[in-house]
């Protein structure tokens, strides 16, 4: 998982035109969703075409063709999903390995229907991360926090974050540093970071909810790690000054499994240098 820098205010040309048009459509759809809910329509009807168009834009322009959660390349044969960070129509958590519907005041949570078209709540995700074996409708919170159920109490993602304390890491957050939460090791392994013997709660949550330890994903991460190390060692033999250039796209999050590959290269370099100490 990577920190993704995106500020719509910096868009220009055709991208700016697309964005302004999309925001206008999304705002109208949001108002309709709230109206439908207030009128008792269950489930709330949604227009998936709106977020599908945004998914394509984000996948190409912002996420470098990768899943927001596992950082795998999303191919043209598996175009992925428009993932709602806060689920739009149903909210669940897992307890003791079993999925449970979130209940608030004795009623099932209606979902964050008012955020269904909010770009800050939408990411491109691979089908495995967003499947029944992955995140789907899960949205766990910090202990003693309660899921907000209405736009009056939490109209936007920032307000909701303050009220709810979500456990899931969010790629757009300015203070998000993946290396503080996720530790990648040899053969594509991933684990939460640790401090004073305690596992990082947020790293553990994203691993568990998105099933980031699944076998084929670990194998894919390992291939990226090996390829990155091969590129670095080749650069070293040509000219050590080229190593930094090779590593730049990994630091910038442009390559598949960038953090896994970068952390692995740093581990290998440290081991390599220790041999000569």
The answer on 219 and 165 residing in a single domain is no
State whether 128 and 88 are in the same domain: yes
* 188 shares its domain with 123: no
The answer to whether residues 32 and 160 belong to one domain is yes
Is residue 233 a part of any domain in this protein? yes
> Span 252-270, mean pLDDT?
95
149, 176, 203 - which closes a domain: 176
Kindly tell me if the per-residue pLDDT of 115 is higher than 70. Answer: yes
- pLDDT of 78 reads 58
> Stretch 66-74: mean pLDDT, rounded?
95
Is the pLDDT score of 277 beyond 60?
no
Regarding whether 231 and 155 lie in a shared domain, the answer is no
| Per-residue pLDDT, 275 | 54
pLDDT surpassing 60 at residue 36: yes
Report pLDDT digits (tens) over 136-183. Answer: 999 999 999 999 999 999 999 999 999 999 999 999 999 999 999 999
Tell me 114's DSSP state. G
Q: Which of 176, 42, 193 is nearest to 107 (CA)?
A: 42
Same domain, 198 and 242: yes
Residue 130 and residue 207 in one domain: no
Query: Residue 20 domain-assigned?
Result: yes
Q: What is the pLDDT of residue 113?
A: 98
- Report which of 108, 130, 112 is spatially closest to residue 30, judged by C-alpha positions: 112
**Residue 208 belongs to some domain of the structure:** yes
Asked if 190 and 172 sit in the same domain, the reply is no
Q: pLDDT at position 118, please?
A: 98
Q: Are residues 31 and 116 in the same domain?
A: yes
C-alpha torsion angle, residues 110, 176, 78, 257 (rounded to 10): -150
- Structurally, how many domains does the chain consist of? 2
pLDDT of res. 79? 62
CA atoms within 13 A on the CB side of 235: 16
Same domain, yes or no, for 79 and 151?
A: yes
* Same domain, residue pair 163 and 263: no
72-102 pLDDT, tens digit per residue, is 998 644 567 899 999 999 999 998 888 999 9
Round to whole Å and give the CA distance between 102 and 109. 6
Question: What is the pLDDT of the chain when averaged over all its residues?
Answer: 94
Is residue 3 assigned to a domain? Answer: no
pLDDT of residue 76: 46
From 151, 176, 201, give the residue that closes a domain.
176
Judge whether 69 lies within some domain.
yes
Read off the tokens for 31: 């108002």
Q: How confident is the model at residue 22 (pLDDT cuts 50, 70, 90)?
A: very high
Q: Is residue 65 part of a domain?
A: yes
Q: How many angstroms separate the CA atoms of 219 and 214, rounded?
A: 9
Q: How confident is the model at residue 132 (pLDDT cuts 50, 70, 90)?
A: confident
Res. 32: pLDDT tops 60: yes
pLDDT of residue 230: 97
Q: Indicate whether 213 belongs to any domain.
A: yes
Asked if residue 199 has pLDDT above 50, the reply is yes
Separation in Å, CA 6 to CA 1, 57, 64, 173, 183: 15, 12, 12, 10, 24
Cα–Cα nearest to 42, from 109, 102, 100 = 109
In a domain, 252, yes or no: yes
Q: Do 89 and 134 reside in the same domain of the chain?
A: yes
pLDDT at 80: 77
Give the range of the structural domain holding residue 220, as residue numbers without chain letter. Answer: 184-275
- The more confident residue out of 35 and 277 is 35
- Domain's final residue, options 160, 176, 192: 176
């Amino acid at each position: 998982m990577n920190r993704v820098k995106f500020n719509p205010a910096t868009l220009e040309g055709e991208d700016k035109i697309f964005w302004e048009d999309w925001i206008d459509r999304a705002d109208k759809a949001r108002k309709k969703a709230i109206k439908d809910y207030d009128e008792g329509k269950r489930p709330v009807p949604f227009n998936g075409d709106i977020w599908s168009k945004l998914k394509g834009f984000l996948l190409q322009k912002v996420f470098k063709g990768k899943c927001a959660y596992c950082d795998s390349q999303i191919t043209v044969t598996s175009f992925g999903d428009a993932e709602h960070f806060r689920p739009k129509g149903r909210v669940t958590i897992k307890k003791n390995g079993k999925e449970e519907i979130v209940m608030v005041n004795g009623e099932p949570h209606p979902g964050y229907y008012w955020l269904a078209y909010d770009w800050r709540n939408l990411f491109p995700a691979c089908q495995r991360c967003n499947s029944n074996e992955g995140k789907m409708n899960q949205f766990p919170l910090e202990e003693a926090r309660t899921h907000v159920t209405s736009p009056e109490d939490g109209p936007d993602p920032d307000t909701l974050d303050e009220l709810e304390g979500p456990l899931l890491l969010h790629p757009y957050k300015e203070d998000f540093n993946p290396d503080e939460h996720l530790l990648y090791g040899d053969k594509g392994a991933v684990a939460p970071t640790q401090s004073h013997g305690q596992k990082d709660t947020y790293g553990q949550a994203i691993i568990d909810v998105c099933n980031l330890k699944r076998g084929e994903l670990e194998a894919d991460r390992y291939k990226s790690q090996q390829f990155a190390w091969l590129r670095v060692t080749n650069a070293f033999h040509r000219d050590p000054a080229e190593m930094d250039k090779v590593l730049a796209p990994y630091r910038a999050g442009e390559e598949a499994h960038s953090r896994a590959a970068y952390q692995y290269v740093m581990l290998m370099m440290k081991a390599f240098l220790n041999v000569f100490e």
